[in-house]
Amino acid sequence: MPSTEHPAASRRINPDVFLEISAKAYAGAERLTTLNLQVVKSSLGESAQASLAALAAKDPQSLLALQMDWLRPAAAERASSYGRQLLDIVARTKDDVEKLIAEQAAGMQELYFAAIDAAATDGIEGSSAGMAFLTSAVTRANGAFDGPHHAGVARANAPAVRRAKLKSARKSRQV
C-alpha cells in the first residue's frame, strides 16, 4: 500500500520554497535599491559641485566649457558603470533563484522516485515492469531537459523506449 508520507512531504516543501524564492528576490531588490541610492548620492554630489563651479564662472564661455566638461566622458562612463552593475545584480539574483529551484526539483524528483518504488514494492503483482518503465521514462525525460546536447540522446533513445513500452504492454496482456 503506497504511503501518504511522500505527498505530505511535498506539500510541506512548497511554502518553504516560495518563502526562499521570495527572500532571494527581495535580496536582489535590496541590492538594486542600494545601487540606485549610490547613484542618487553621487549625482547629488556632482550636481552640487557643478552648481558651485557654475556660480563661480565669470563669463558665458567658461560656463559653457564647464557644462561640456561635465557631460562628455563622465556621463557615458556613469551610465555604462550603472548598466554593468545592474546586469550583475540581475544575473546574481537569477542564478540564486535558478539554483534554489533546481535543488527543489531534485528533491521533488527523489520523492517521486521513492513513491514509485513504494508503489512497485507494495503494488499489484506484475506491475514492476510498468513501474521500471515509468522510472526510466522520467529519468530520460529529465536528461532531455538538461540541455540541448541531451536532446539528441533522447531522440536516439525514443525507439528503444517505444520498444520497451510495447514489450511491457505485451507482457501485461499475457498475465
Query: What are 104-147's pLDDT values in tens digits?
Result: 888 877 877 777 777 767 767 766 677 777 777 777 777 766 65
- Decide: residue 22, CB within 10 A, 0-12 exposed, 13-18 middle, 19+ buried: exposed
Look up residue 41 and give its amino acid.
K
In percent, how much of the chain has pLDDT > 90? 20
Query: Stretch 32-57: mean pLDDT, rounded?
Result: 87
- Residue 85: the pLDDT is 94
Judge whether residue 152 has pLDDT over 80: no
The DSSP annotation for 52-100 comes to HHHHH--SHHHHHHHHHHHHHHHHHHHHHHHHHHHHHHHHHHHHHHHHH
Helix 128-145 and helix 60-122: axis angle, to 10°?
170
- Residue 41: the pLDDT is 93
The DSSP annotation for 10-33 comes to HHHHHHHHHHHHHHHHHHHHHHHH
